[in-house]
Amino acid sequence: MQLADYADRYNTVKFERHGGVLEVILHTRGGEAKWGTSARSLHGELGNAFLDIARDPENKVVILTGTGRNFIAESDDQDRAPEPTLAEMWDRIYDEALGLLENLLAIPVPVIGAVNGPAYIHAELAVLSDIVLAAEHAEFADLAHPGRAVPGDGVHTVWPMLLGPNRGRYFLLTGQKLSAQQALDLGVVAEVLPAEQLMPRARELAQQLAALPRRQLRYTRAVLVRHLRRRLREDLDIGLAVEALAMV
């Protein structure tokens, strides 16, 4: 797999690579990323994109970021799932949801999350990174589930791990928003920066890592995400199942 094989494959992901550092930029129709559920949305494409990234041996470090001043702050009101029934849709959603997190963690090199603004939907995609940087105006929340659905698509595992069991459950049940500074204080992010310094800092760190031997990078990544991968394998399928049951 080479960058040329997947550079133009996706509607919602743009790729740029310099010196072995692959920048993965989320967007919706060229603007700020919005969450959708069709096969051509972020939900439909990201898992496959992560798999392509994982298969490309020229990637030494990955930077995951959004477009404009939001990471993923709202749903895409122009996106519609094509399936006529929830049961038919959920077959696809189940497979895509597994791929989203499992393939993200299958990327065999370090991932830097550069959270360029509010991350209210699937913020776990960013905070599962090995290094998480946040713009000063960024906020973190799970607004896709409270009052709407069971938080069973991985957030039920990720956030209690990051915040602690009690704080994590409060976060998921209430839709609490954490400022970038609060996320820093809680250990969710490593650095908070002015928006204009976010990507320069991410690139600086990425180049530092990319200068290390390839084998060291890959094996370090493997040991750092081993526990995360095991927990998600244990929890994700049952979480998705009960999320679907609650919708019936």
Which of 71-85, 147-161, 171-185 is predicted least confidently? 71-85
Among the listed residues 59, 79, 25, the one whose alpha carbon sits nearest the alpha carbon of residue 214: 59
| Encoded amino acid at 234, one letter | E
Q: Where are the alpha helices (H) located in the chain, listed in sequence order?
A: 3-6, 42-55, 86-106, 124-127, 155-163, 165-174, 180-185, 195-210, 214-247
Residue 161's Cα: distance from chain center in Å? 16
pLDDT of residue 201: 98
| Encoded amino acid at 111, one letter | V
Per-residue tokens: 28: 């919706």
Arithmetic mean of pLDDT, 12-21: 96
Q: How confident is the model at residue 157 (pLDDT cuts 50, 70, 90)?
A: very high
CA angle, 17 as apex, 16 and 18 as ends, to 5°?
130
Q: Which of 124, 196, 234, 243 is catalytic?
A: 124
Q: Active site includes 124? A: yes
Q: Specify whether the CB–CB gap between 184 and 139 falls below 8 A.
A: no
Arithmetic mean of pLDDT, 61-89: 88
Domains recognised in the chain with CATH numbers: 3-199+210-247 (3.90.226.10)
pLDDT of residue 214: 94
Q: How confident is the model at residue 47 (pLDDT cuts 50, 70, 90)?
A: very high
Decide if pLDDT at 109 tops 80.
yes
* Residues in the chain, overall count: 248
Among the listed residues 41, 117, 43, 12, the one whose alpha carbon sits nearest the alpha carbon of residue 73: 117
Among the listed residues 37, 43, 49, 47, the one whose alpha carbon sits nearest the alpha carbon of residue 10: 49
Arithmetic mean of pLDDT, 103-112: 97
Beta strands at 139-140 and 178-179: parallel, antiparallel or unpaired: antiparallel
Q: How confident is the model at residue 131 (pLDDT cuts 50, 70, 90)?
A: very high
In angstroms, rounded to a whole number, what is the distance separating the alpha carbons of residues 49 and 65? Answer: 14
In angstroms, rounded to a whole number, what is the distance separating the alpha carbons of residues 237 and 71? Answer: 26
**pLDDT higher for 236 or 179?**
179
pLDDT tens track for 190-203:
999 999 999 999 99
Q: What is the pTM of this model?
A: 0.93
Q: How confident is the model at residue 216 (pLDDT cuts 50, 70, 90)?
A: very high
pLDDT tens track for 49-63:
999 999 999 999 999
